Homo-oligomer: A and B are copies of this chain.
Amino acid sequence: MSIRVQKTFEALFELEEIRGIFRDALPTGLSDEEEAAFRQKIAGLKAIIADLEAGTGTPDVTKIAGILDIRSREEQFINIQPIQAAGRLTTEARKALISYGDGYSTCDFCRKPFRLDKISRPGIADFHADLAKWLNMDQARVVPGARRGFQAVTNTLVSKGDSVVVSALAHYTEFLAVENAGGVVKEVPLNDKHIVTAEATAQKIEDVRAETGKLPVLVMIDHFDYQYANEHEIAGIGKVAHQYDIPFLYNGAYTVGVQTVDGKMIGADFVVGSGHKSMASVAPSGVLAINEEFAPKTLRTTGMVGDLTKRKFGIKEVEMLGCTLMGGTLLSMMASFPAVKERVLHWDEEVRKSNYFIDTLLRINGSKVLSEYPRKHSLTKVDTTGSFDTVAQNHKRRGFYLSDELTKRGIVGEFAGATRTWKLNTYGLSWDKIHYISDAFAEIAEKYQIPVEKNAKNTCLYQKE
Is there a chain B Cβ closer than 8 Å to A292's Cβ? no
B64 and A95 within 8 A (CB): yes
How close is A207's CB to chain B, nearest CB, in angstroms? 9
Is there a chain B Cβ closer than 8 Å to A101's Cβ? yes
Is there a chain B Cβ closer than 8 Å to A57's Cβ? no
B328 and A283 within 8 A (CB): yes
Contact with B along A5-38 (1 / 0, CB 8 A): 1001101110111111011101110000000000
B329 and A283 within 8 A (CB): yes
Contact with B along A426-465 (1 / 0, CB 8 A): 0000101100100000000000000000000000000000
Q: Indicate which residue in B45, B189, B281 contacts A49 across the interface (CB closer than 8 Å).
A: B45
Q: Indicate which residue in B26, B83, B177, B304 contacts A321 across the interface (CB closer than 8 Å).
A: B177
A147 and B19 within 8 A (CB): no
- Known contacts A15-B8, A322-B172; decide if A335 and B65 are in contact (CB<8 Å): yes
Is there a chain B Cβ closer than 8 Å to A175's Cβ? yes
User: A104 CA to B331 CA in the complex, in Å?
Assistant: 17
- Known contacts A13-B95, A16-B94, A91-B16; decide if A65 and B327 are in contact (CB<8 Å): no
User: A77 CA to B339 CA in the complex, in Å?
Assistant: 32
Interfacial residues of chain A within 209-252, with CB under 8 A of chain B in the complex: none
Kindly specify which of A264-272, A305-313, A360-368 makes contact with the partner chain. A305-313
- Known contacts A180-B155, A303-B179, A321-B176; decide if A23 and B99 are in contact (CB<8 Å): no
Which partner residue on chain B sits nearest A94 by CB separation? B16
How close is A170's CB to chain B, nearest CB, in angstroms? 8
- Known contacts A15-B15, A122-B68; decide if A282 and B327 are in contact (CB<8 Å): yes
B324 and A284 within 8 A (CB): yes
Is there a chain B Cβ closer than 8 Å to A390's Cβ? no
A148 and B155 within 8 A (CB): no
Is there a chain B Cβ closer than 8 Å to A89's Cβ? yes
Which residues on B sit within 8 Å (CB–CB) of A26? 78, 410, 432-433, 436
Which partner residue on chain B sits nearest A280 by CB separation? B103
Is there a chain B Cβ closer than 8 Å to A4's Cβ? yes
User: A46 CA to B52 CA in the complex, in Å?
Assistant: 12
- Kindly name the residue among A9, A180, A338 whose own CB sees the greatest number of chain B CB atoms within 10 A: A180
Is there a chain B Cβ closer than 8 Å to A187's Cβ? yes
B284 and A176 within 8 A (CB): no
B432 and A307 within 8 A (CB): no
Is there a chain B Cβ closer than 8 Å to A123's Cβ? yes
B96 and A65 within 8 A (CB): yes
Is there a chain B Cβ closer than 8 Å to A193's Cβ? no
Which residues on B sit within 8 Å (CB–CB) of A103? 83-84, 86-89, 275-277, 280-283
Name 17 A/B residue pairs within 8 A (Cβ), A-sorted.
Answer: A15-B15, A16-B94, A17-B91, A26-B78, A45-B49, A64-B99, A64-B335, A65-B92, A68-B122, A72-B99, A103-B282, A175-B311, A185-B306, A187-B307, A189-B308, A276-B326, A329-B329
